[in-house]
Structure 1
Amino acid sequence: METYNQNGLPPIRPYGYGSDTGQVKSAHDEIDVYVNDEFIGKKMLLTQTEDANDIGDFLKLQGVENVTTEINGDHYVIKSDNPERLKQVLEVYLQNR
């Protein structure tokens, strides 16, 4: 039951008070992208529907094959036998996003 003050309005609380803020995307969510443990850049997550797997989907659309991906916290690590081509594709992607 909500308790109201004398003017009949609910108490003022900070944004997100009492809610599950773990489900709310922060305005500055970003993922660090690595190729074979070398930092390439940051991927900004601008909408609720964006996530790290969008990077892998983009690579498939660009014809990049034979890569493995791993998400470790806010790090997206891509392993490849041909890292130079992969780095070029990712640098352009990260600059445009």
Structure 2
Amino acid sequence: MPGGNEEALIGMAAFMNGYFDPGTKLSHDRYEVYVNGDFVGQKNLLSHKEDVTSVNEFLEAQGYHNYLSNINGDHYYIQTEKREHELKQALQIYLNSR
């Protein structure tokens, strides 16, 4: 739509006919990220091509390789035994800068 806002139209579709469809994506998905059980921030997925595994890509690029990760609903859990404090700080900066 020239000069229009496609995101507004997508959001409006969720409210058509007087009801709200909770399955309709309004703006973006997000995951709560935890390291060793401690909440460190939220990962917002800003495009349909992005997914929560970009957190792993970030960690790998920063030199963190010894960790396990898994998804449970909208929670993303990372377990590590090495450099926990540094990893948490790096993730907090990454998650809050986006």
Q: TM-score, normalised by structure 1?
A: 0.73
Structure 2: state its 5+ residue gaps. Answer: 1-11, 17-21
1:92: Cα distance to partner? Answer: 0.8
1:52 aligns with 2:52: yes
Counterpart Cα distance in 2 of 1:25 and 1:53: 19
Aligned to 1:80: 80
2:28–2:47 CA contact under 8 A, matched in 1: no
Aligned to 1:15: 13
When the two chains are superposed, the root-mean-square deviation of aligned CA atoms in Å is 1.9
2:32–2:42 CA contact under 8 A, matched in 1: yes
Aligned to 2:5: none
Counterpart Cα distance in 2 of 1:68 and 1:26: 31
1:25–1:48 CA contact under 8 A, matched in 2: no
Where does 1:27-38 land on structure 2 (aligned, <5 Å)? Answer: 27-38=27-38
Q: How many residues align?
A: 80
Q: Quote the sequence identity (%).
A: 43
Matched AA of 1:57: E
Matched AA of 1:15: A
- Runs of 4+ with >4 A deviation: none
Rg larger in 1 or in 2? Answer: 1
